[in-house]
Chains A and B, each alone.
Chain A
């Protein structure tokens, strides 16, 4: 039997082992691990939220960019753990129901056009309920800014391998 490393190296008065340690690995490819499914309802509400958040003077954001964002969010939530899915899912659910009330509209955010969604969410943000809007806003913005087109548009291209001043 292959002995655990801690015992191979030193002694000794070994206890009976119910298993043996596998050989060490160079490190996990964590992104290749299977990811937890994310509820379609959460993803649909995230899409509705994102369409409001990223709408502009020109109207709703590019559907392809939103599709990319939602797929990325699915990966994010599928890997970030049960608590993250619970918290973000709850925030999105609450925003979907509560936000329209702030602009005296019914029944859910999904029923509003992107501009009205933005207005409703803005109102939520201005109240003590602000944190429930910030959770999804933070995660969606972080991912949104990783899209190469956003980086080009906002002049925030990755500068990771550069020292200060190199880009000027």
Chain B
């Protein structure tokens, strides 16, 4: 795939096209491919670098994090009140967060689509109307079942424990082809088996004539007479990759796809999207927690597909159990203690199994612009309903691990020692306040949410920003509510829907 690096300039750059797409991730890439294939002149501007799959796959995990994860994975949504603070991760590279995913693909649940279409009066977001877009994405990125043979022992043990307690699990689906289960999906696929947008929509866009520029950061939408005439920003060609030379792209149409943390900032800087007062609000994160079980036998949970099985057994309670694993070092870091206590725990890493849980949250976060800083401030106030779910589901997961034969279980609570079957009932959750919970998120969504009226949404049912005729948003920020499942498939489907309405088909 041809990508031009903005770093190679030492002078201002001005370009012109039909549609400029800001951000090359799960939202931007399908739009770029669709419009380029429809014959439009498309330019994709991406802040991050272009690191082709094999080069990314050859990196150590911490190298991937330092080079292509935003802020070295240290973005924090500051917890308010009894909320945990949440570590929010995203990609910053050509392909956005897509090359970092575990490949997990879920259709948006029917009840969520029904809510979008009925409560928000957006007819064509209903399950039957959206099916065509989901089906199209499934073909485009090759969504397939993960065979049980690729399950890691970590996952297999948890599933065994769950099934012993009557909890049903299913195989996940992922966008892969010829995966060998090496388990390092979040740090680049060394076998080019994961078919993220960097391997699918972006190359298609480039083949159809789209120009992809990496290391190019957009600051704002340029407006003239109430219409957008393009975008402006900088090339990252300064010292140590700092913004230096001016970048300007004149375009008939602007599509913002910088993700739920950055699209609202671009709109705000441009003075757009503020009618409803909800720009940057409504941030949902799918707060996630990981529970670990220690077994007598070796588990070596890093061998096998990173994510392969899930359970919606507790969906009625707003929680989905998802298989997951993290690098050994992170695994060790989440074990309590320092010094000799930690050394004892470090030695157990090969005997640990892990499973994750994700909360189907209510929109309770916000993205704020910080004066003189480019990075946003994120805040998150978990609702009472969601907060109450945390101890319940963590205990359920501990019981599943014990049913599978775990000797002890580690909860995601700072400084809390492990529990055994005998001590599980003695954990006093009322004393464990939100800030002591270790929580993460890979799914920031909803900050420019779609709706049927400009009084309470940022974009209209076609993704158009209400107050300007030719600026559109096509990324995770437009999802009207939290999904409760991993979002990439839905984001791509929504983006295709937006793109086809732009292409007139």
Contacts and interface: CB of A to CB of B under 8 A. Distances in A.
Nearest to A7: B16
A25 B415 contact: no
B332 A160 contact: no
B333 A134 contact: yes
Interface in A1-40: 4-7, 9-12, 14-31, 33-36
B15 A55 contact: no
A154 B350 CA distance: 7
Interface of B is mostly: mixed
Interface stretch (B264-272, B336-344, B466-474): B336-344
A125 B338 contact: yes
Interface string B36-60: 0000011100000111100100001
B265 to A, nearest CB: 14
Contact of B74 (A52, A88, A160): A88
Given A27-B3, A80-B72, A122-B338, A145 B49 contact: no
A131 interface: yes
Given A6-B16, A128-B435, A164-B181, 19 more contacts: A10-B41, A15-B250, A21-B15, A55-B343, A56-B340, A56-B343, A80-B74, A88-B72, A125-B414, A128-B436, A130-B435, A142-B61, A142-B65, A142-B333, A143-B329, A146-B61, A156-B302, A167-B303, A168-B298
Nearest to B67: A30
Contacts of A83: 71, 74-75, 375
B122 interface: no
Contact of B214 (A28, A82, A128, A154): A28
B190 A161 contact: yes
A27 B436 CA distance: 42
23 contacts: A4-B15, A6-B209, A6-B210, A9-B41, A9-B209, A14-B16, A17-B13, A18-B13, A26-B52, A28-B50, A72-B62, A76-B66, A76-B72, A77-B66, A79-B67, A119-B339, A126-B415, A135-B74, A138-B334, A142-B329, A146-B61, A163-B303, A164-B152
Given A5-B211, A9-B41, A122-B337, A145 B329 contact: yes
A79 B66 contact: yes
Interface in A76-90: 76-84, 87-88
Going nearest first, the 5 A-B pairs with the smallest beta carbon separation are A118-B339, A80-B72, A130-B414, A126-B415, A145-B329
Interface string A134-168: 11011111111110000000111001111111111
A27 B414 CA distance: 40
A47 to B, nearest CB: 15
B240 A34 contact: yes
B159 interface: no
Given A26-B52, A128-B435, A162-B303, A80 B150 contact: no
A160 B14 contact: no
B330 interface: yes
Q: How large is the interface on A (under 10, 10 to 19, 20 to 34, 35 or more residues)?
A: 35 or more
A34 B210 CA distance: 29
A81 B71 contact: yes
B172 to A, nearest CB: 15
Interface in A52-93: 52-57, 72, 75-84, 87-88
Contacts of A33: 7, 240-241
Contact of B14 (A19, A22, A87): A19
Interface residues of B, number: 93
A152 B85 CA distance: 34
Contacts of A24: 2-4
Given A31-B63, A53-B338, A164-B152, A6 B71 contact: no
B415 A80 contact: no
A79 to B, nearest CB: 4
Contacts of B30: none
B244 interface: no
B118 interface: no
Interface string B469-500: 00000000000000000000000000000000
A9 B39 CA distance: 10
Contact of B333 (A21, A56, A138, A163): A138
Contacts of B250: 15
B51 A159 contact: no
Given A5-B4, A146-B60, A164-B304, A130 B436 contact: yes
Interface in A83-113: 83-84, 87-88
